[in-house]
Amino acid sequence: MSDNVQEKLESLLRVQRVIPPTAEAKAASYIQDYDAAYRQSIADPEAFWDQAAKELEWFSPWQRVLEWDYPWAKWFVGATCNITSNCLDRHVKTWRRNKVAVIWVGEQGEERVFTYAELFRQVNRCANGLKSLGLRQGDLVTIYLPKIPEQIVAMLACARLGIIHSVVYSGFSAPALATRIQDAEARVVITADVGYDRGKPSNLKEVVDQAIATCGTVEKVIVVRREQPGIPLSSPKEIDWQTWLDDKPATCEAVPLDAEAPLYFLYTSGTTGKPKGVVHVHGGYMVGTYLTTKYVFNLRDEDVYFCVADPGWVTGHSYIVYGPLLNGATILTAEGKPDYPNPGRWWRLIERYGVSIFYTTPTAIRLLMKYGEEWPKKYDLSTLRTLGSVGEPINPEAWEWFHRVTGGTCPIMDTWWQTETGMILVTPLPSMPLKPGSASRPFLGIEADVVDREGKSLPPNAGGFAVIKKPWPAMMRTIYKDPDRYRAYWNIIPNCYTAGDVCRKDEDGYFWFMGRADDVIKVAGNRIGTAEVESALVSHQAVAEAAVIGKPHKTAGEAIKAFVILKHGQQGNSELIQALKDQVKKELGKIAVPQEIDLVTSLPKTRSGKIMRRVLKAKELGQDPGDISTLEE
């Protein structure tokens, strides 16, 4: 890690370019003077968030903005609300009733359009459907759907009743899904017959069948049937989505909930094999995602907002579903990959729908870059106004390319945040000068810093740990069933939240994130724990031990490399390597399959037997493993 970080640090230091905001971007900005607004916001963060919260509707007001009992936070204490009242009811009462809320484009080219009124009706029907199954506030529904509108409808329907949703990315395999269903004790699973991946259907229902064989809490499985004729269902446990909702009334009042009532669990990877159930709540999350979506993208009613994430991940939760709907935006969402059926796919959608805000990932940009500039050149991209990037550091080359092919004037918001943070925390605003490769400055109301292990603020350009010094409304409230794991975030470095990222802050206070300080890897922006992959490998009968590292990759940012010791008497050959990859795919899913597997006879360990992945990594990258930087964790 250390040399790798050093190298990145040096390469980033060479970048000098500063891009001033265009006069148009500045004039159109909600926040025109970041420095002044920021100073004011952190002079009294509670007053700042209090003001923001007042832009939304509440059933009853709060007595206190924040109750902070380190490290436990409660926001908008005593208030009642429901995030869906603000996503839907608030808009259907106005002219936005007939405004387009969601345009969905399927992988096969299908198009479905929902106005706010139509989305409202669908969500209410689905909420009534959930009620008819006897589900109530506090129950949990696992949503294992491909990227289709039912995913959004199901999330909102749960939230409307105070039912907690746990969306599981549809690329996860049966054992990974089962772990998440078991931990959350889901009563219902909502799935589909198939998802599509580059034209090929993948059978999701089969994955659910396998998973729930080991999940005793699941009473019902709802199936969205996309294919004709529909796959057979075995009643009474399995219910067809369409028949379930056909006769349900299109009105269902949102349940008034305590501001701290859980909205969702989202499982994410940490440094152990067990995924963490990050808990977010209605009130604070609503305020945080609402305000960041509005200010970071300068979102206006006339915008068409296109975010390429999947609601299986946090970006989809906060910046496809909740943040944009809270703002009454028109959201474009598209199933499928950026280069299928050809690399013009997203550029064509931007032209066709007149997209003005486009939020994507560094991996996708690098992939499109490989196909060349002729693809974006074929399309009219002149409607674009604000761009966004998320999930991993964006290298200046990819930044410059993205900026250039989209017309050379759109500011790129390099947004830094995490599943745990719920909302964007470090980001430019469209009115700020930009530095390609830097996520810029803390969002309003957020006190971020780069510190050493003791929590001491570091001088400009010194590498250290990214921390947040005060609570913020959309922060996770706990890790489900594991409060110690929650506390750990606030205990690593005294008096602050440690994100796990290595970073430096330059002389202008701009943050330059350089990757993780722990055993989490980011492959194509997807968060994967080395320990998860290791335990999947060890579950193969031929494997004695395994160690996994992330290795720099030109397109995906990082790639997974595994070192495996076979059990005595096992024959190492290419079939076995393939079998090990298949094993990881079976246990976790395609996204976690190592790109390379080396068979070895020993692994570097500490005296207490802990595998030193860092040493493996240094060796792999041809660096000196003896050089241990203070950044090493």
* Residues at the contact surface with ligand WTA, assessed by CB under 6 A: 268, 313-315, 390-393, 414-419, 439, 499-501, 513, 516, 522, 527
Tell me the closest approach of the beta carbon of residue 515 to ligand WTA, in angstroms: 6
Q: Are 512 and 505 in contact (CB under 8 A)?
A: yes
Tell me the closest approach of the beta carbon of residue 394 to ligand WTA, in angstroms: 7
* Residue among 351 and 414 whose Cβ is closer to ligand WTA: 414
Give the CB-nearest residue to ligand WTA.
Answer: 419
Q: Are 394 and 423 in contact (CB under 8 A)?
A: no
What value does the CA radius of gyration of the chain take, rounded to a whole number of Å?
24
Tell me the closest approach of the beta carbon of residue 499 to ligand WTA, in angstroms: 5
Tell me the closest approach of the beta carbon of residue 606 to ligand WTA, in angstroms: 25
State the Cα–Cα distance between residues 591 and 197, nearest whole angstrom.
Answer: 13
* Residue among 257 and 308 whose Cβ is closer to ligand WTA: 308
* Residue among 252 and 528 whose Cβ is closer to ligand WTA: 528
Tell me the closest approach of the beta carbon of residue 422 to ligand WTA, in angstroms: 10
Q: Are 481 and 183 in contact (CB under 8 A)?
A: yes
* Residue among 414 and 519 whose Cβ is closer to ligand WTA: 414
Tell me the closest approach of the beta carbon of residue 500 to ligand WTA, in angstroms: 6
* Residue among 163 and 549 whose Cβ is closer to ligand WTA: 549
Tell me the closest approach of the beta carbon of residue 158 to ligand WTA, in angstroms: 21
Quickly tell me which residue has 């290595």 as its tokens. 502
> What single-letter DSSP state applies at residue 591?
G
Q: Are 386 and 413 in contact (CB under 8 A)?
A: yes
> What single-letter DSSP state applies at residue 458?
P
* Residue among 292 and 327 whose Cβ is closer to ligand WTA: 292
Q: Are 367 and 338 in contact (CB under 8 A)?
A: yes
The side-by-side arrangement of strands in the sheet containing 511-516 is 448-451, 464-468, 497-505, 511-516
Tell me the closest approach of the beta carbon of residue 426 to ligand WTA, in angstroms: 8
Tell me the closest approach of the beta carbon of residue 314 to ligand WTA, in angstroms: 5
* Residue among 581 and 617 whose Cβ is closer to ligand WTA: 617
State the Cα–Cα distance between residues 429 and 395, nearest whole angstrom.
Answer: 19
Amino acid at 447: E
- Strands 386-390 and 412-415, sheet pairing: parallel
Alpha helices in 431-548 (DSSP H): 483-491, 530-538
* Residue among 401 and 513 whose Cβ is closer to ligand WTA: 513
Answer positive or negative: Cα dihedral of 294, 326, 172, 162.
Answer: positive
Amino acid at 206: E
State the Cα–Cα distance between residues 291 and 200, nearest whole angstrom.
Answer: 39
Tell me the closest approach of the beta carbon of residue 63 to ligand WTA, in angstroms: 32
* Residue among 527 and 540 whose Cβ is closer to ligand WTA: 527
Instruction: Report phi then psi at 429, rounded to 5.
Output: -115, 155
* Residue among 122 and 315 whose Cβ is closer to ligand WTA: 315
Burial class (CB within 10 angstroms; exposed 0-12, middle 13-18, buried 19+) of 46: middle
Q: Which of 630, 235, 229, 299 is nearest to 453 (CA)?
A: 630
